Amino acid sequence: MSALKTSDKILVVGAGAMGGGIAEVAAQAGHIVYLYDMQAPMLEKALKAIRKNQELLVSKGKSLPENARNVVERIHCIDRLESASDASLAIEAIVENLEVKQSVFRKIEEILNANAILATNTSSISITAIASKLARPERFVGMHFFNPAMRMKLVEVIAGIASSEHILSVVYETAKTWGKIPVYARSTPGFIVNRVARPYYAEGLRVLNEGALDIATIDAYMRNACSFPMGPFELMDLIGHDVNFAVTNSVFNAHYGDKRFAPSLIQQELVLGGRLGKKTGQGFYDYKEGALALRTQTLDAKDGHMAVIASQNNPMIGGILDRFSAAGIRVQYEDIPPNQIRIGDSVLALTNGGTATSRSAEGKIQNLVHIDCALDFALAKIALLAKSDQCSQVNFDGVAGTLQKAGYQVSRIDDIAGMLACRTICMLANEAADSALQGVASIEDIDIAMRFGTNYPKGPLRWADDLSLKYVFEVLSNLSKHYGEERYRVSPLIQRKAISGDYFYGAT
């Protein structure tokens, strides 16, 4: 199906940050845009922001002055919806309230031509529910942009129960011509990104709630060892706790209280206290002028070993051995379990989703130290370790010191199941797998959405393949066993693929 032509006019309803951004995207693509808001000051503010952004693009050499001027000139601010009666596509970006959206779209439907396409930028409200009050629900879809709309590439094209395949295709192709990366999704709570991303916040909050690691070190590890653009607490502060907490509650309630999406009492306290993050000057971090930044907790082990023993089969921790060799630490290969390294009298093992203490008891390993997952151990700046209760402090220091000799900054997390990155990555993959299983979106579109909607270093299903689905299954099973909670139930799709030796994308 073909996209809308540049001669087609676009109506954007709502001149807030999202509405103004969407108007700029459409104008940048060559359309005449009608920008409507009930409050005239909002229109003035939006146009000022658009003009400023276009000037910035010119200053950076990403646009020409005449192009920037044309973009601004193509945006017509209107105070009556009737002034946009010739629009071919209407995109709504107003308050997240079902009744308000239904009322606005009923009016738009009456004003616009019967062939016009209606789209909502909602991030959480059912497309089917909004369309239910329309005379032509088949012409209604979700067109969910991400903030800031000019910079973020992803657009979720969302089908309600009545949405026409033809209309969905037109919107999808239009998003492509606007320079976006569209994905198809079905109208379910949170769609793709706001559903699959919940564990990124939830597991960080869970680790904090258990007192296992401090905020700054959690953020530093997820950035520096796993290449997420921001740690979970930095990101929540940026989004705003009122917004993030509301989305979590929306997804939780829409799934009839599924414990996997349960909100955090820690975040609720911040919202109740008005500490909403950057916009109020305080959240998990203090943004007031002169405030001290939180420091990460690191170890300073003095002694390390200059020889280690490892298995030949180390698919996930091979990068550590490369770092050892580069640092002059001799690596000897023997017949020991994979993804384990003997360092003196200690065993360093990649976490398996349980605690090091329980694994030590079950495997009769006296001095066991768990290491958390990383995107690439050869490049990671930080190593995160958990000491089993049976391990002596001297042995733990020997492991930490050896890793420091290899150039790692070493931090310690209390011995909790799944540590930090391991449980987070596996839970992201678990939610992504359930989304694919339930037909929310395809495997490929889920990974595309998470890469371009959240800037994750990998799509969670690709990441699960790289870790191996047997490992992800083991981690989730051990988390479920440890906590005894519905929250950590394993997706049937991961179970089946892990048991059969299958992959999401094929052997890697």
Task: Summarize pLDDT for 109-128 with one digit per residue, the tens.
Answer: 999 999 999 999 998 899 99
144 is catalytic: yes
Sole residue written with tokens 């011509």: 177
Catalytically annotated residue among 121, 187, 194, 224: 194
* Residue ranges of domains in the chain: 9-187, 309-412, 421-448+461-500
Q: List the structure tokens of 125.
A: 């409200």
How many angstroms separate the CA atoms of 317 and 112, rounded? 59
Q: Per-residue pLDDT averaged across 379-389, rounded?
A: 97
Instruction: Give the pLDDT of residue 506.
Output: 79
Q: Is 175 in contact with 143 (CB distance < 8 Å)?
A: yes
CATH number assigned to the domain covering 9-187: 3.40.50.720
Q: List the structure tokens of 26.
A: 């459409």
Instruction: Give the pLDDT of residue 389.
Output: 98
Q: Strand runs (DSSP E) across 82-207, as ranges?
A: 87-92, 117-120, 140-145, 154-159, 181-186
Catalytically annotated residue among 156, 203, 234, 431: 156
pLDDT band at 290 (very low <50, low <70, confident <90, very high): low
Instruction: Give the pLDDT of residue 299.
Output: 83
pLDDT band at 1 (very low <50, low <70, confident <90, very high): low
pLDDT band at 293 (very low <50, low <70, confident <90, very high): low
Catalytically annotated residue among 24, 63, 144, 388: 144
Within a 13 Å sphere around the CA of 103, how many CA atoms are in the beta-carbon half? Answer: 7
Which whole-number Å values give the CA distances from 47 to 71, 113, 231, in the listed order? 11, 27, 33
Q: Is 77 in contact with 41 (CB distance < 8 Å)?
A: no
Beta bridge partners of 91: 12, 119
Catalytically annotated residue among 123, 314, 339, 346: 123
- In three-state form (DSSP H/G/I as H, E/B as E, the rest C), the secondary structure along 303-318 is CCCCEEEECCCCCCCH
267, containing H or E segment? helix 265-272
The set of residues, in sequence order, having a beta carbon less than 8 Å from that of 263 and lying 6+ positions away, is: 245, 248, 249, 252
pLDDT tens-digit map of 427-484: 999 999 999 999 999 999 999 999 999 999 999 999 999 999 999 999 999 999 999 9
How many angstroms separate the CA atoms of 138 and 161, rounded? 8
pLDDT tens-digit map of 206-241: 999 999 999 999 999 999 999 999 999 999 999 999
Q: Is 200 in contact with 347 (CB distance < 8 Å)?
A: no
How many angstroms separate the CA atoms of 8 and 395, rounded? 70
194 is catalytic: yes
Which whole-number Å values give the CA distances from 90 to 158, 184, 430, in the listed order? 15, 19, 36
Supply the Cα-derived Rg of the chain in whole angstroms: 25
Under DSSP, is residue 165 helix (H, G, I), strand (E, B) or coil?
helix
How many angstroms separate the CA atoms of 503 and 469, rounded? 7
How many angstroms separate the CA atoms of 334 and 484, rounded? 37
- In three-state form (DSSP H/G/I as H, E/B as E, the rest C), the secondary structure along 453-502 is HHCCCCCHHHHHHHHCHHHHHHHHHHHHHHHCCHHHCCCHHHHHHHHHCC
Instruction: Give the pLDDT of residue 465.
Output: 97
pLDDT band at 291 (very low <50, low <70, confident <90, very high): low
474 is catalytic: no
Q: Which fold has domain 309-412?
A: Transcription Regulator spoIIAA (3.30.750)
Query: Could you tell me the pTM of the whole model?
Result: 0.94
166 is catalytic: no
What is the DSSP track for 198-248?
A: HHHHHHHHHHHHTTSS-HHHHHHHHHHTT--SS-HHHHHHHH-HHHHHHHH
Residue 232: asked if its preceding bond is cis (omega within 30°), the reply is no
How many angstroms separate the CA atoms of 251 and 265, rounded? 16
